[in-house]
Structure 1
Amino acid sequence: MDSEKNDQQFDLLKSENARLRTAVEELSILNDIATAISSTLDLDRVIGLIVQKCVKHVKVDQGAVWLLEEKNESGPLKTMVRTVNSSAEGLPYRLDTQLIGWMIKNQKPLIIQDLENDERFQITPKEKEYIRSLLAVPLQQKGKMIGVLTVFNKRSDEVFSGEDCRLLTIIGAQSAQVIEGARLYKEEQELLKMQQEMNVAAQIQMNLLPKDFPSIKNYETYGVSIPAKEVGGDYYDFIPQEDKRLIFCLGDVSGKGMPAALLMANLQATLRGQAISCKDAQTCLKRSNNLLYHSTDMEKYATMFYGILDVINHQLIYANAGHNAPYLVSKKGEVKRLKTAGIPLGWLEEFDYKEERVDINPGDVLVAFSDGISEAMNSREEEFEEERILEVIKTNMHNGPRDITDSLIKVVTSFTGSAPQSDDMTVVVIKRI
């Protein structure tokens, strides 16, 4: 009787020792993984280390992690990011979508000992060649599935055991939190990089705009550009010439952010280069159009009003490349729209722009503006419209260019109220005194 009791105690002790040994091994494995991945926040590196450790400790040929990324605009649609660590050739990709779909639906561990004959999955001949068996567990963080951890082909033709499944599940639970942290860190770094690029682009744009305004006998000038975001697409410039002429322009480049800032830099260099050699507005726009056409992609273009102010003869020579036509208002309140036909710069090669001339009399005010002014919208989705621009000009004819500009911006801002600024607002004002 004592012998039988001793045997039972021995068996219990043996079982407990085995359980403790397994627990120690699991803790050792988890510590090994934790030590490896604690040294980095790089997402790709973290995933690579996790897969590498799974291949080692579960004793398999290959491993993979798929991360699922929710796309808010398309509901449950998910994007798969795949990382593989392998001692054999890379895995084919057809199985991925089927396995991920099964995991999203069931959200529990999956063991397949004989993939070729498993009716749940349709695999290619190449997959049959490389994949005999697999073990997959969901990666879950705060009750949400963020990915799948999978290992393939037990070594020495063994089968996956319940202990393998338990171990991989534990590894997956630990890894999910680390992966999510690394992913959030990556997103933060990408946002930081994007913000830094936006700051650089904003600085580029600021440096391209005039820092002061030309002082010309009998004339006053002023301009301002208020971007809707950190970096806008509007551009204006004053380019004094040695022959007593003043070139000025106002335009809107396509795009936003760094691409818009680079296109603006390209446009400024082009226009300033042409201003040296061109004596007329239409030739300058034609050459600038050709240069922009050949140096940019099709979707990159710019609208532009280009004027040459002859301060000796008091004439304005101008051409327009698809931009809003400026207003010229006389001291008596007479209004002239400076309209000419022309396509945006960069659209078509060898386009011939039309040039016009108009006299500038004492007291005349010229106001050029971007569509961010005329199309500024309030909370009722009503546009400011050009008629209101004209009203502000007429009301402030007795003021100088800066006061006219400030008044226009103030009225537009009051009109839009709490509605967010949807586009850049740019104004250039020239007045003969």
Structure 2
Amino acid sequence: MTAAPHDLVVRAARALTPDGERAVEVGVTAGRITAVVPLGTGLLGAEVLELAEDEVLLPGLVDSHVHVNEPGRTEWEGFATATRAAAAGGVTTIVDMPLNSLPPTTSVANLEVKKQRAVDQAFVDVGFWGGAVPGNTAELRDLHEAGVFGFKCFLADSGVPEFGHLEADELRADLLELTRFGGLMIVHAEDPGTLEDAPQRAGRDYRHFLASRPAKAESTAIAALIDAARATGARAHVLHLSDADSLPLIAAARADGVRLTVETCPHYLSLDAEHVPDGATAYKCCPPIREQDNQDRLWQGLRDGLIDVVVTDHSPATRDLKEPASGDFAEAWGGVASLQLGLAVVWTEARRRGVPLADVVRWMSAGPAALVGLERKGAIAVGKDADLAVFAPDATFVVDPARLHHKNPVTPYAGRDLTGTVRRTLLRGRDVGDEPTGTLLRRGEA
């Protein structure tokens, strides 16, 4: 008997490809996409997956901003739970942030500790960011050569003592060091002086917390980052942009040749300050969720191409830290858990605004893949990894925190009606199932 030419053939009347939405058959061999042809061609496969009429085939999403927290704070989150949540949300690749774990990923030795914990627990593919903190400039090249995708730094207090923030001179020194080997700096951009001058009022009123993290803190820090990137020629990326007032700064910097990219997050695109209930600390994040007008302008920034990618900044914590009995925003841990829900959250709002699904997928798959240099990810195209998601864009559900896979069932989306469900996720052509089959990724090799 002649062997089938493909291990798997996926037939879809709707698939989002680099050439737009098409009716296709996708051939998969040895985990790679080996054919993308018009539906009806009749590709043969050892297995055949035919999508239902209400389903769309998507490239697996790439989430380049995930706090897994293992080891050290594994009670907050861990590789097994985070990657299960990712798969349930159509995410087939995550890149883990270097902080909130103990030790932080600020040296090659610490990176190895992280990898040892991840290797047998990953249900999707996992890469790693390194950390740039005071005193570790000499470690950056070694971390780069060890395969991290770039380096995260804070310009203000990170919230954890083991991951210090960079002063202006340290930022420039590290950026200059990165130019020597082509490294990328990703930046939590809030200005410490502005934060110190802002009113600090504890309590259950979200307005007081919002006033403590003013938009000016972001715009001031982004302006300083732009100046440093311009002076050094380094490549820089603004993390979790919440301040739409910074968009003109970003536009001007790019027009001037500054190598700058920008991300925002589902919570900034779907939640607004006007509707955060008193004491609802699940909504707390830094920088904060701002007003509706600001949200509208972030969406315009995406349409205009000033914001490049949408990633979750999944940053969970235990319920006692995230939702203290006091409901005090000053006391609660800052971070939104949304890894499993990111696609549905963004698509629900995009659909309401008339934004096509193709744009959402580009911002959440091809865009992050390009940001970190994952050339085999982010598209349904020959030569790419067969990382795929079967998505029903018209199906609806109500968010039940108890049914989420991340470790602590706390989310500001609890009880929210969302549109779009992921019915199946494939990693290199195989269903993500009950056994971890993800691999650890290195910069330049995936």
Which has a greater percent of helix? 1
TM-score (norm 1): 0.28
Give 1 or 2 for the bigger CA radius of gyration: 1
The structure, 1 or 2, with the larger RCO (C-alpha pairs under 8 Å, 6+ apart) is 2
